[in-house]
Amino acid sequence: MRKLIGFDADTLDKLKQLGRDRMATLQELADEAFADLLRKHGVPIDLKDALRKSAADTPHRKH
């Protein structure tokens, strides 16, 4: 799915430079930034992350 996101000229220039420095596309930088934002707020980013979070939240039974 595509969405448009607006950047001011200075921010876009810095993102382009960061992409060149890291040999990453703007999409790769955006994917990383959004994944970090989701993690920061405790939102699983994929199924593996959701399962890990679910297992950590489940009290373990001791025998």
- Token digits for 31? 């994917």
pLDDT in tens, 3-32: 999 999 999 999 999 999 999 999 999 999
State pTM to two decimals: 0.72
Confidence label for 62 from pLDDT (cuts 50, 70 and 90): low
Nearest Cα residue to 31 out of 47, 21, 46, 17: 46
Nearest Cα residue to 29 out of 21, 20, 44, 19: 19
Q: What percent of the chain has pLDDT over 90?
A: 60
Confidence label for 48 from pLDDT (cuts 50, 70 and 90): confident
- The three-class DSSP label of residue 51 is helix
